[in-house]
Amino acid sequence: MEVPLGSQTKVILPDGSVVCLNSGSVLKYDPAFLRKKSREVYLIGEGYFEVQKNPEKPFIIKTSDMGVKVLGTSFNVSAYREDVEKSVVLVTGKVEVTASNGESVRILPNDRFRQSTDKYVVDKVNVEDYVSWKEGRLSFKNTELGGILKQLSRYYNVRIDYDKQQQITCSGKLNLDDTIEQILNTITETAPVIISKENNVYKVTIKKK
């Protein structure tokens, strides 16, 4: 299952587990999914999982940099190839995450496992900020503007240029039912930036003091 940029979709797996796939994501699984000892899927991008419990057949998600093992729970996995940082945010239940260096760690509800290169950390977060995308909105608190713009670029399938050297953080909520122009106008009202459009490219620059 491949989701084009600018779209989202919901997938019901053969065991009844539900996966909400975000823009630009790919989910793969074997046709013999139910006949194997474990239920394995491979994810590129971002997905919110609601896994059916089956203690005899663990549910395993593999990405390019980490693995997630679970018996039955709900959680968000973000593993876009172009992102340096990959993450797992747990909503309910328990999961075991295997980092790229082979170490395994169990996380609990409201925990976020995040990994960049071969290092990882686990911290407490507000899960709403990481799963609200599946409800048609973005929720964030003290989040770097560059990360927000990257999410918007994928969701609306547009190019947004922004100087990553600039460290601006934002808090708030964005309604993804709005147009990209409405969203960007909202950002200019809350952040010290100017946004212009040229040749279908949105350019975000810092206001000069």
CA count, 13 A, side-chain hemisphere, 99: 17
Nearest Cα residue to 33 out of 54, 8, 6: 54
| Spatial distance between the Cα atoms of 169 and 98, rounded to a whole number of angstroms | 30
Q: Which pTM was predicted?
A: 0.87
Distances (CA, A) of 188 to 65, 140, 183: 35, 16, 9
Residues 20 and 10 sit within 8 Å (Cβ to Cβ): yes
pLDDT tens, 14-42? 999 999 999 999 999 998 998 999 999 99
- What digits encode the pLDDT tens for the residues 105-143? 999 999 999 998 778 999 999 999 999 999 899 998 888
165 — pLDDT class (breaks 50, 70, 90): low
Mean pLDDT, all residues of the chain:
91
